[in-house]
Amino acid sequence: MDAVMETVKMIVDTLGATVLLPIFIFIFALILGTKPGKAFRAAVTIGVAFVGINLVIGLMWGSLSNVSHAIIESTGITRNVVDVGWPAAAAVAF
């Protein structure tokens, strides 16, 4: 049983959230009775949106990290948390 769970964990870690989220959305939509075409369209939309959010966070992170380092140097204030807003936090948490 442990070998099966480790294999499942390895597959989930390898695929990542960008691939698994649309798969889960597709399966969930089918369970709720949505037609397969509409469920597939919803899954692809969620997948593209998830990739887009990750791209925006990546671009923001590169720009904001330099600014945050400058603020830290000039004020001496240090924080361990970065607030990126609820859409980015929801994407990361999902």
- Residue 42's pLDDT is 93
* Mean pLDDT of the 64-90 span: 75
| Cα–Cα distance, 23 to 6 (Å, whole number) | 20
5-46: pLDDT as tens digits: 999 888 888 888 788 889 999 999 999 999 999 999 999 999
Chain centroid offset of residue 88 CA: 8
Contact 30/39 with Cβ under 8 angstroms? yes
Domain count of the fold of the chain: 1
The model scores a pTM over 0.85: no
Domain span at residue 66 reads 2-93
Whether 68 shows a pLDDT value over 90: the answer reads: no
